[in-house]
Chains A and B, each alone.
Chain A
Amino acid sequence: MIEFAGVSKAFESKPVLSAFNLKIDQGERVVLQGPSGCGKTTILRLIAGFLAPDQGSILIRGKIAASNARICIEPEKRGLGYVFQDLALWPHMTVFENIEFPLKAQSVSAAERRQRVAEMLGRVDLDGLGDSYPTRLSGGQQQRVALARALINRPTVILMDEPLSNLDEELQAALTDQILRLHTEFAFTLVYVTHSKEEKRRLATRSILLRGGGAVED
């Protein structure tokens, strides 16, 4: 599904990943852990296509997505969902518009968009909040909007970058359960970055510890 082949990446000549290799299979729930600056977020951004590897290749569904400092498949053509650490909800759009945007970008008809967004709002327990702006919602509700937006166009891979780090333990537990339910329903591949052992315990089918630019432990 996703493959890193000898990927190296440095920022301002400071290496973050060196000759890094990783294979993630369809439907896996991979949790990435490691100290700050070890390259967890960089891996997600490389998969998403926001960054290109300095050396090596990244393959998605068997196709070269990026190779040797060149992006071969643009982010919008990779068919991914991404839940950012700060959620990145567009503050000038309502909850409905936030979730609708990926469908609009794919030129889905207005009637189908309305129906699919309404359905998704129900799935993530946000019924009746479609007209609200994200800044008016609680942390947990914002988190669910981000999840709904990432899932709305039924991607095969979802990337999550410490999405629950700002929530209390009870809410974290409830939302990890919700992620698991949605994973079962949509059968996506999950690549999840966290510092929390509890989230890892609940979510991971496989965990990877990153150290010193590439050492990987399963």
Chain B
Amino acid sequence: MGRLLNVKRFTLGASAGLLALIGLLPLSVMVAYSFIADGSIGVRHYVDTLGRTRAWTLFLNSIALATFSTIVALAIGVPVAVLIAKTKMPFRRLITVCFSVPILIPPYVLATGWFEILGRDGLVSRFTSPSVGEMTSSWLFSLPGAVLVLSTAFLPVILLLSLASLRGVNPTLEDAARLFCGWPLVLKRITIPLALPGIWLSLVLVFLLAMGEFGAPSYLRLSVFPVESFTQFSAFYNAGAATAASIPMLLVVAIGLLAGSRLLREGTHYFRWAGSQVTPHHISLGRFAPLTSALVLIAALVLIVAPCAALIWRGFSGTAMNSALLQATDSIAWSLLYAGIAASGVALLGFFLAYASQRRSFAKWLWIDGLTLFLFAIPGTVIGIAAIVTWNHPLTGWLYASPAILILGFAAQYIAIGTHGIAAGLAQFSPSLEEAAEIAGAGWFRRVATILTPLSKTAITAAWLLTFIFCLRDSSLSLLLSPPGRETLTARTMTLMANGSPDVIAALCLISMLLPVIPLAIFGIAVRIVRKRA
């Protein structure tokens, strides 16, 4: 018994150690590195980087981009979520799918799609006049354009989290209010306030993701902090300045997450289900239902479908696709391989960390939760720079020169998907199921293999899929950490953007869009087969 307990403790301890190695260590090294200049300890990099007016302009740009993107995503995402969750508006599923699509698409691909519409030679220019094209192009390559791209890119985060929060509100609490007032007041006084913690959390996440986004602002030539860190690092190889430029981002993320965790902690007691007898009620839209549905569908069409359709229009030709495939077949394979390995690592490590967190196996289990969320929220450029300054060392040169550094970067950034997703799965069944197996004499690994894994297989599969998709759509880690000659599709596409043919770029973006669909389709077919057999 004692030996088995040690095996379990060792596994969980090793998992926590691995998390510290891939996440905490590089960040710590980076922070330390930012204080070393010319072999001595000091704040010169901070003075050089943050002492300039430009640094604060960049900071304000980042804050403005994140704030406006969050506001626009909120203004669209929450009302659509309310309509989907609380009414019987026609085409609710189609609308949910349409507004969720951007989660599969790298933001820079969306930016490319908008460029095909609003760019100098874009569709608007062709159907109107070159002067209009000039105007729309300069609008796209500015803060409002970047807000348009990022708000649509992160809209699914607000929509899906708001939907989950609204659906989590106990319908009896709404019924209790419906005895006294109509739906508008019920929504205002009961439903929305109860769903607010989840909605707030989605806002914090979108703000942080928009603040740390590199690909789209870089494509739209908007000067923001992540782009500055990347430029300092890759163009000037000024690691000290790059690390110093990353620290304000770390602070913003830390503050954002603290605010988010406080909101969620205060709100968790609201999410109680009334029981199977009570089914949620839907607001009748009456004769306005078709009009509402049409308006929402038009919004989806304009914001999501239009840029994707523009890419298809530009890139979906035999010549462009052929050329794109010729230039990027190996990158597609590398992308799938790296994402597959990283997703498997995240699922495995995430499982043990989720277990440790969900079963409170460590006294400091909250630190694991906090660290994984922190790693998820900080910009990829920060994780990438931290990984390079840590592993670019004679002793670890083998790691630095191989794809392993990219896979470790992916694992560090997206481990939260594994831990939080699988912890939610583990929470669905009673610990007594494992205890029963333990009493029957099953060792730790046997319990994992025969009880815990089968019971949480849906959560593990979902975590794997989501990590796989996030790795495929990642741009900053891919650009910073892809080994030469073995780049990911994103890295290859973004490199070619500088001087490649627009048709080929559009075709590459189309391939980037379609790549995450492959595992989803395989998963969907597998689920159907399993259900049919059952």
Contacts and interface: CB of A to CB of B under 8 A. Distances in A.
A41 B277 contact: yes
Interface string A68-104: 0000001110101110111011111000000001100
A84 B185 CA distance: 20
Interface in B171-210: 172-173, 175-182, 185, 189-190, 193-194
B269 interface: yes
Contacts of B176: 82, 84, 88-90, 149
A153 interface: yes
Contacts of B177: 90, 101, 105
Given A101-B189, A135-B269, A88 B170 contact: yes
A81 B182 CA distance: 15
A50 B180 contact: no
A76 B281 CA distance: 15
A184 interface: no
Given A90-B190, A135-B269, A84 B181 contact: no
B178 A88 contact: no
Contacts of A135: 269
A204 B136 CA distance: 75
A101 B179 CA distance: 11
B194 A92 contact: yes
Interface in B186-245: 189-190, 193-194
A88 B175 contact: yes
A81 B270 CA distance: 23
Contacts of B454: none
B275 A48 contact: no
A86 B185 contact: no
Nearest to B172: A88
B224 to A, nearest CB: 37
B274 interface: yes
A74 B175 contact: no
Contacts of B277: 41
B368 to A, nearest CB: 28
A48 B269 contact: no
Contacts of A153: 180
Contacts of B181: 76, 105
**Most interface-central of B181, B185, B274, B275 (chain A CB within 10 A):** B181
A3 B278 CA distance: 23
A109 interface: no
B279 to A, nearest CB: 9
Contacts of B170: 86, 88
A87 to B, nearest CB: 9
A92 B178 contact: no
Contacts of A50: 175, 178, 281
Contacts of A75: 175, 178-179
Contacts of A81: 179
A50 B464 CA distance: 41
Contacts of A85: 275
A86 B274 contact: yes
Contact of B275 (A86, A101, A106): A86
Contacts, number: 63
Nearest to A78: B179
B180 A48 contact: no
B280 to A, nearest CB: 11
A78 B179 CA distance: 8
Contact of A86 (B172, B179, B194): B172
A84 B277 CA distance: 12
Contacts of A92: 193-194, 270
Contact of B178 (A76, A86, A91, A106): A76
Nearest to B271: A91
A154 B175 CA distance: 18
A90 B180 contact: no
A80 B180 CA distance: 8
Interface in B36-71: none
A148 to B, nearest CB: 13
A105 B173 contact: no
Contacts of B281: 50
A29 B90 CA distance: 44
Given A86-B274, A86-B275, A92-B194, A76 B175 contact: no
Query: Which among B172, B180, B274, B275 has the highest number of chain A CB atoms within 10 Å?
Result: B180
Interface string A164-193: 000000000000000000000000000000
Contacts of B189: 101
Nearest to A74: B182
Given A88-B172, A92-B270, A135-B269, A80 B193 contact: no
A149 B173 CA distance: 13
B273 to A, nearest CB: 10
B269 A76 contact: no
Given A88-B172, A90-B173, A135-B269, A80 B179 contact: yes
Contacts of B179: 48, 75-76, 78, 80-82, 102
Interface string B252-289: 00000000000000000110001101000100000000
A88 B178 CA distance: 12
A81 B177 CA distance: 11
Nearest to A41: B277
Given A50-B281, A86-B172, A76 B180 contact: yes
Nearest to B178: A75
A82 B177 CA distance: 10
A78 B178 CA distance: 11
Contacts of A105: 177, 180-181, 185
Contacts of A90: 173, 176-177, 190, 194
Contacts of B175: 48, 50, 75, 82, 84, 88
Interface pairs A-B: 4 shortest CB-CB: A105-B181, A88-B176, A105-B180, A102-B180
Given A88-B176, A149-B176, 17 more contacts: A41-B277, A48-B179, A49-B178, A50-B175, A84-B176, A86-B172, A86-B275, A88-B173, A88-B175, A88-B274, A90-B173, A90-B190, A90-B194, A101-B180, A102-B180, A105-B181, A105-B185
16 contacts: A75-B178, A75-B179, A76-B178, A81-B179, A86-B274, A88-B172, A89-B176, A90-B194, A91-B194, A92-B193, A92-B270, A101-B177, A101-B180, A102-B179, A105-B181, A153-B180
